[in-house]
Amino acid sequence: MSRNILETILGGIVLLVAAGFVIFAFNTTSVSTSDGYRLTAAFDNAAGINVGSDVRLAGLKIGTVTESSIDAQSFMAQLELSIDDSIQLPEDSSARIVPDGLLGSNFVELEPGGSVVNLSNGGAIQFTQGAVNLADLLGRFVFTQDGPDSGGGN
């Protein structure tokens, strides 16, 4: 009987520690639920972007990717971004998907435009550039270089 009580108490302690870890992880990763206004952007290649990926401006996080889908008409990756309310982006701003270092994950980098009119909630970023596949780019570079035996002479 005393063994069952001990196991129950130990199980409760394990659950409390697990709950504390989840709360700690939630707070330190700056995961937000629905703060900010929503923008959409269409990309030809959204490789490495998931729900929760960072949206950055000048290297600083200003939002997150809240939803991703495929547009059935254009076959483009459609991303929904949640942007901090304190950042008002001009309507001619651009978005591109860039890697976070050589081996890091990808994030959405925003470049503000020069328009005096700002994007509003539900607006769309028109100018986008998808993710670049570095392995494919390197392969194209290596296999398109002219070597010493490439010909050209008689």
Model confidence pLDDT, tens digit, residues 110-137 = 999 888 998 889 888 998 888 777 777 7
Whether residue 3 is found in the same domain as residue 47: no
At 148 the pLDDT is: 55
Same domain for 75 and 10 = no
Output the pLDDT for position 109: 93
pLDDT band at 143 (very low <50, low <70, confident <90, very high): confident
Q: Tell me whether residue 73 is in a domain.
A: yes
Provide the residue range defining the domain that includes 5: 1-31
One domain, residues 8 and 48: no
Count the domains in the chain. Answer: 2
Residue 77 has pLDDT above 70, yes or no: yes
83 & 49 share domain: yes
What gap in Å lies between CA 73 and CA 151, rounded to an integer? 46
Q: Are residues 22 and 80 in the same domain?
A: no
Residue 3 and residue 54 in one domain: no
Question: Residue 100 falls within a domain, yes or no?
Answer: yes
Could you tell me if 85 and 103 lie in one domain?
A: yes
What is the pLDDT confidence band of residue 140, given thresholds at 50, 70 and 90? confident
Residues 81 and 114 in one domain: yes
Residues 23 and 49 in one domain: no
Query: C-alpha distances in angstroms, 73 versus 77, 126, 130, 139?
Result: 11, 17, 18, 31
Same domain, 49 and 121: yes
In a domain, 147, yes or no: no
130 in the same domain as 103: yes
Q: Is residue 132 part of a domain?
A: yes
Could you tell me the pTM of the whole model?
0.65
Structure tokens at 101: 């270092």
Q: What percent of the chain has pLDDT over 90?
A: 32
Mean pLDDT of the chain: 83
User: How many other C-beta atoms can be found within 10 angstroms of the C-beta atom of residue 30?
Assistant: 9
Q: Is 82 a member of any domain?
A: yes
SS3 of 149, please? Answer: coil
In a domain, 150, yes or no: no
In this structure, are 18 and 73 located in the same domain?
A: no
Domain membership of residue 146 (yes or no) is no
